[in-house]
Amino acid sequence: MRLIYQTINQELTKVKSYIEEFKEQEANVEYCPYCTERRDNKHSCCQENHFVPFSDLDDQTQMEIIKEEYDNAYADHK
Each of the 78 residues of the chain gets a pLDDT tens digit; together they read: 888 888 889 989 999 999 999 999 999 999 999 999 999 999 999 988 889 999 999 999 999 999 999 998 887 654
Helices 2-26 and 59-74: crossing angle, nearest 10°? 120
pTM of the model: 0.81
Question: 7: exposed, middle or buried (C-beta count within 10 Å: 0-12, 13-18, 19+)?
Answer: exposed
Cβ atoms of residues 69 and 21 within 8 Å: no
User: By three-state DSSP, how is residue 11 classified?
Assistant: helix
**Which residues pair with residue 48 across a beta bridge?**
45
pLDDT at 75: 76
